[in-house]
Amino acid sequence: MMRLLFLFLLTLPLTVAAQKRGEKVTSSFPLTQVLVGEEALLNVQIEGERPNGSLSSTQASELSFRTLEPDYINEQFLSLNIGVSAAEPGVKEVPAFRIPLASGEQVSETFAMEVFPADKIQWNTLAINNQNYRIGSLILYPTGSLYAGQAVPLTAKLLLPENLPVRSIGYAEIEKDNIGAWRMEAPFPPRYDQRVRPRSPNALQPRTVKVDGQSYQVVNYVTIAAPLSDGTVTVGPGTVQGLQVQISTTTQRGGFYSSMSRSYNLELELPAISFEALPLPAGAPEGFAGAVGAFTLETTLDQEGELKPGDPVMVNLAVSGEGNLDTLAAPELEAPEKNWKTYPPSRKTDDTRRSNRGTVNFSQILRPLVPIEEVPSFTLSFFNPATTSYETLRSEPIPLTLSPLASGAGSSAPPPAGLVPVPEMTDILGLIDPQPYRARSGPSLLPWWQVLPALVVVILLLLIVRRHLPRLRQEDPEKARLQAELEELRGKSDAREFLRAAANLAEREGEKGDDFVAELIAERDARCFQPGEKEPELPASRREDILAQLKKRLSQVILLPALLLLGTPHQAEAFHEEALRAWNEGDYEAALAAYELARKDQETPDLLFNIGNCHYRLGKPGKAGLFYHRALELDPKHPEARQNLAFLERKMGAISTLPDAAPGWPSRSLLRTLLAASAWAFAIFLLLRFARPDAKSKRLSTLGQLGTGLALLTLALVLFFHPRKESTAPPVNAVVVSSEASPVRSEPSAGGSIILKAGPSTACRVLAERGPWSYIELPDHTRGWIISDGLESI
């Protein structure tokens, strides 16, 4: 009775939540390749409700099933676990299970499981703490014919004795040849990548299997891989890293027993395997783009209300099934190009876990160029390894709802007045030629006009130093010594003595690597340390040149800091020409590489804008938004960056960061410029008081300080109360750069509820960080947690 009451109280929040959100049942089978007698896990997760009975199979099966204890994940999901095992090798079908719910019975998915014999296990002996343990390892791949591009599971297994309890599973790194694969990780069900409360062994700990009459723990690492081409494929050898085991020892002392446990981190080797990948057969249909697997296609129209002639339509394409989902190309529109203007499709995946089974969603914008009444069919061609043949899916045409104006008869009334044209962007603005006078970073960060007041300030400071610090004008002893040596050198008439003294002085006081010093030393060695008659006198011109060069090097001065404001020359124009040539040829990678080289010299808003365009063309909208934001950091009024960013935010569903217009108010950029000019003027009038102490200059300084001080205060208040003040939207310092929408969660874990999904190019402000998570604030003041890997600083 108490146990039933405990379960009721524990699942009560789930039942209440079900009434608010509705039920959702998902099933998964993370481990599809097992040994004979090894137990795999069928996981069924229910959101917001608990079943009112036990799960039952929909059909008879030769497999063995064992009901395990459930897990509770973040008080939202009830996770039911069923152990599945087989006594004979071969490919087995895991049947669907009925799930009785108060809202109605639901059924889980069916899965395929391949069972392997234990004769391929490679055994080794591992010595730990003066004790030997028998360790087994192997890598499994599907039996039967495998084709180039076919996404299949690979499983690496370690067999450990039961007296080596596993504390941490880690991951496996494998070598690969002619095959692409993710890193091999433990086969956990969805939402088990974070801590589960209470921590249950049902989904997170190794299973046991008997081999040769002895029980072993089986630690699995899985991945999805696809051969890159036909021919021999090699997987392994590999290494398991992060595997931690615990060993307990018992000792007797004075009639008392004591036990001690110690953890060991193991790095175990995995063997190598090879198999053949077959080429895809000839006869691929037109439009085949490398899809391998078995898929279904569903199309829907994202339309609200009636359409007018020429209105764009957005079509949603859902491709479901099993195959190479990661590299799947979008279905193609089956219609003449003259009838439709098509735009590149965007890709979305509902599940970020690495799998060859699931759904990929595409959305594509179409604009009719001729009168139409329906959206034509879309086609998807693929090779099905199960039937060893090519198949083509064709969706049904979608009828459109047109406004009466679009389909009705014409009217004899005069046409209405035309509306003011509204910008209707369907693509980004292209590259622009760098403008030398736009704001820059680095040495040229300050606008060029600030050089003039800076020079005035420097002159006033020099006058102050000359007037109030005369001791700085006293003779420097080191300078006097060098001057005396130069005068002594000038007085030497003998060529040999002159060259020796000059070379010694240059070698002692000059810089290493100076060509003049090296030449002078070589000339001294040639004239003064060679046997023979006395060399003739040096020409007077050569003597004066040596003295002038020595004096120049011994009296070098530091350039005024204000000269740094003028910037340094760079080769941005040459890089831009190279990038523009690559852009016109469609080689956006080469264009991006050229602009990145120019960026090492100096950043300009135009350069950052062009880099953003390259990222957009390469299918990285998040990176594109990041560089548009960086361009606006240098030049907040950059028109092209503002226009492309606004288009990108609309297209990707990002929260806008561009402020609305504020009629009647000067721009914040102009106000900042006036504020800087007032600050320079205030500094000049202040320094004038100390540089020129006469009464007239003091009166001028006082009046100037009062006027510029009042201007500073007024401009600061205007900026503070400006309608475009950044407080209306949090000042951003990061941008979502992930290629897909990133969920913003209520807690720093994958189990936290999703507040919203931040699309690529969404700007945010990072408030705090915790492990791999960042606490952010969006422009609409929404706060939440997001994976830090999806962010990049502006």
Q: Tens digits of per-residue pLDDT, 163-199? A: 888 888 888 999 999 998 878 888 888 777 544 444 4
For residue 556, what pLDDT is reported? 52
Mean predicted confidence (pLDDT) in 541-562: 63
Which residues are bridge partners to 274 per DSSP? Answer: 234
Most confident of 175-189, 381-395, 743-757, 779-793: 381-395
Most confident of 209-223, 236-250, 674-688: 209-223
Angle at CA 658, nearest 5°, toward 657 and 663?
A: 140
Domain identity same for 332 and 243: no
- The DSSP H or E segment spanning 25 is strand 24-28
Contacts of 248 (CB under 8 A, 6+ apart): 259, 260, 261
By CB atoms closer than 10 A (0-12, 13-18, 19+), residue 737 is: buried
Q: 165 with 245: CB under 8 angstroms?
A: yes
CA-CA-CA-CA dihedral for 607, 609, 610, 614, to nearest 10: 130
Check whether 35 has a pLDDT greater than 90.
Answer: yes
Mean predicted confidence (pLDDT) in 90-96: 94
Burial 533-551 (b: 16+ CB within 10 A, else e): eeeeebeeeebeebeebbe
- Give which of 603, 612, 562 is closest to 438, Cα–Cα: 603
Rounded distance between C-alpha atoms, residue 210 and residue 118, angstroms: 10
Check whether 382 has a pLDDT greater than 90.
Answer: yes
- Give which of 351, 357, 363, 360 is closest to 300, Cα–Cα: 363
For residue 513, what pLDDT is reported? 60
Q: 211 with 151: CB under 8 angstroms?
A: no
Q: 224 with 182: CB under 8 angstroms?
A: yes
Mean predicted confidence (pLDDT) in 62-84: 84
Check whether 488 has a pLDDT greater than 50.
Answer: yes
Mean predicted confidence (pLDDT) in 776-786: 81
Residue 459 lies in a domain: no
Domain identity same for 250 and 297: no
Cis peptide before 663 (omega within 30 of 0): no
Q: What pLDDT digit, counting tens, does each position of 245-273 carry?
A: 888 777 666 666 667 778 888 889 999 99
Structure tokens at 762: 């969404």
For residue 477, what pLDDT is reported? 64
Rounded distance between C-alpha atoms, residue 221 and residue 368, angstroms: 50
Residue 188 backbone phi and psi in degrees, to 5: -90, 150
Structure tokens at 525: 């060695």
Structure tokens at 557: 């001065």
For residue 470, what pLDDT is reported? 56
Rounded distance between C-alpha atoms, residue 340 and residue 336, angstroms: 7
Mean predicted confidence (pLDDT) in 92-106: 90
Residue 110 lies in a domain: yes
For residue 348, what pLDDT is reported? 73
Packed helices 515-528 and 540-554: angle between N→C axes, nearest 10 degrees: 140
Q: Can you give the CATH number for the domain in which 228 is found?
A: 2.60.40
For residue 356, what pLDDT is reported? 84
The alpha carbon of 732 is separated from its chain's Cα centroid by a whole number of angstroms, namely 17
Low-confidence winner among 382-391, 434-443, 522-531 (lowest mean pLDDT) = 434-443
Residue 108 lies in a domain: yes
Final residue of a structural domain among 368, 402, 436: 402
For residue 205, what pLDDT is reported? 63
- Give which of 389, 377, 199, 238 is closest to 298, Cα–Cα: 377
Check whether 625 has a pLDDT greater than 50.
Answer: yes
For residue 252, what pLDDT is reported? 66
More confident residue, 509 or 98: 98
Rounded distance between C-alpha atoms, residue 786 and residue 768, angstroms: 11
Low-confidence winner among 247-251, 434-438, 610-614, 733-737 (lowest mean pLDDT) = 434-438
The 33-35 sheet, strands edge to edge: 33-35, 111-116, 90-94
> Structural domain of residue 530, as residue ranges?
475-563
For residue 76, what pLDDT is reported? 72
Residue 681 lies in a domain: no
Residue 512 lies in a domain: yes
- DSSP class of 147: B
- Reported as a pLDDT band with limits 50, 70 and 90, residue 317 is very high
Domain identity same for 110 and 131: no
By CB atoms closer than 10 A (0-12, 13-18, 19+), residue 793 is: exposed
Average pLDDT, the chain: 77
Check whether 18 has a pLDDT greater than 60.
Answer: no
Domain identity same for 112 and 135: no
Residue in the structure block whose two tokens are 């760079």: 570
Low-confidence winner among 298-307, 365-374, 772-781 (lowest mean pLDDT) = 298-307
746 φ/ψ sector (left φ>0, alpha ψ -120 to 50, else beta): alpha
Contacts of 244 (CB under 8 A, 6+ apart): 166, 167, 168, 170, 263, 264, 265, 266
Domain identity same for 70 and 183: no
Amino acid at 595: Y
Domain identity same for 14 and 37: yes
Domain identity same for 304 and 254: no
- Reported as a pLDDT band with limits 50, 70 and 90, residue 154 is very high
- Reported as a pLDDT band with limits 50, 70 and 90, residue 592 is confident
Which residues are bridge partners to 154 per DSSP? Answer: 223
Residue 383 lies in a domain: yes
More confident residue, 365 or 88: 88
- In percent, the amount of the chain with pLDDT more than 70 equals 76
Final residue of a structural domain among 506, 535, 563: 563
For residue 517, what pLDDT is reported? 77
Angle at CA 153, nearest 5°, toward 151 and 156?
A: 145
**Domain tally, the chain:** 4
Rounded distance between C-alpha atoms, residue 124 and residue 136, angstroms: 6
Low-confidence winner among 285-289, 462-466, 578-582 (lowest mean pLDDT) = 462-466
Structure tokens at 277: 């990948």
Q: 154 with 6: CB under 8 angstroms?
A: no
Check whether 478 has a pLDDT greater than 70.
Answer: no
283 φ/ψ sector (left φ>0, alpha ψ -120 to 50, else beta): left
How many CA atoms lie less than 13 Å away from 362 in the CB half-sphere?
A: 23
Low-confidence winner among 196-205, 233-242, 597-606, 611-620 (lowest mean pLDDT) = 196-205
More confident residue, 600 or 119: 119
Residue 615 lies in a domain: no
Low-confidence winner among 190-194, 588-592, 635-639, 661-665 (lowest mean pLDDT) = 661-665
Domain identity same for 18 and 62: yes
Contacts of 134 (CB under 8 A, 6+ apart): 123, 124, 125, 126, 161
Residue 608 lies in a domain: no
Amino acid at 65: F
The 106-107 sheet, strands edge to edge: 56-57, 97-99, 106-107
Check whether 661 has a pLDDT greater than 50.
Answer: no
Domain identity same for 373 and 319: yes
Check whether 144 has a pLDDT greater than 60.
Answer: yes
Rounded distance between C-alpha atoms, residue 267 and residue 241, angstroms: 5
For residue 715, what pLDDT is reported? 81
Which residues are bridge partners to 346 per DSSP? Answer: 363
Domain identity same for 216 and 327: no
For residue 278, what pLDDT is reported? 95
Model pTM above 0.85: no
For residue 9, what pLDDT is reported? 32
Check whether 481 has a pLDDT greater than 70.
Answer: yes
Report DSSP letters for 326-355, one per residue: GGPPPPEE-S-TTTEEE-PPEEEES--S--
More confident residue, 559 or 106: 106
- In percent, the amount of the chain with pLDDT more than 90 equals 21
Contacts of 495 (CB under 8 A, 6+ apart): 527, 535, 536, 537, 538
For residue 22, what pLDDT is reported? 40
For residue 369, what pLDDT is reported? 80
Check whether 462 has a pLDDT greater than 70.
Answer: yes
Most confident of 123-127, 129-133, 576-580, 662-666: 123-127
For residue 669, what pLDDT is reported? 64
For residue 406, what pLDDT is reported? 44
Final residue of a structural domain among 531, 563, 595: 563
Low-confidence winner among 22-31, 192-201, 590-599, 770-779 (lowest mean pLDDT) = 192-201
Mean predicted confidence (pLDDT) in 624-645: 83
For residue 229, what pLDDT is reported? 92
Domain identity same for 152 and 258: yes
345 φ/ψ sector (left φ>0, alpha ψ -120 to 50, else beta): beta
Domain identity same for 107 and 129: no
Reduced to 3 states (helix: H, G, I; strand: E, B; else coil), residue 101 is coil
